[in-house]
Amino acid sequence: MTIHHEGYKSIAVATLIFGAINLTMFWIFRAQYPWLCYTVLALTFILLLFIVSFFRIPKRTLTIQDGSIIAPADGKVVVIEETHDEEYFHEKRLQVSIFMSPANVHVNRNPVSGTVVYNKYHKGKYLVAWHPKSSTENERHSVVIRKGQTDILVKQIAGALAKRIVNYLVEGQEVKQGEELGFIKFGSRVDLLLPPGTRVNVQMNQKVQGGVTVIATL
């Protein structure tokens, strides 16, 4: 396991705060309230470990399959339905949405290899990520990857806790399946908009792994 570079600053700040809190506690209260000092130490250490684990990149064997659409994120499938896209396609698409809890790995990956033909950031609200309107009203970053004659839209969506979306792609860029697309901090959601009739390989509430699980077959 390694730590994602997006977490270096957050982990450094959290470590400094952890040290400052506990040095202060032990300096002032150790003589009279040692139990309080050790309780605070334990709780703040657990919090520090959580922050470190949030930015983890576990070792995995990524799925590279030319005719498959791979999960762009870790999490749980919360939507599989037909929808009318108003942003890019302006027609019906098959939507598959993955909810990412704070405990999930938050690296986002390219579901297919291809060319980036659309990349746009949208300001918005911070509704909970499973809210039906979060796809269209929340802060989000949309990318369309063209593979052959097929366009696939990947939408990074902020949630009630996620206040920062990072996207690494630019229009015209050639990308490879499984490579990093971006990162979302502290719980969120990723939508895939696929051609109607696409054969979906996952079910509602199924847990998926980014870069590993086959979401659909072209």
- CB distance 71 to 209 below 8 Å: yes
Write the DSSP symbol of residue 65. -
Point out the residues that are catalytic: 188
- Contact between 103 and 134 under an 8 Å Cβ cutoff? The reply is no
What does DSSP say about strands 2-3 and 180-185: parallel, antiparallel, or unpaired? unpaired
* Angle, helices 8-29/34-54, rounded to nearest 10 degrees: 180
Nearest to 95 by CA among 200, 212, 209: 200
DSSP lists the bridge partners of residue 95 as: 81, 193
Cα(49)–Cα(37) distance, integer angstroms: 18
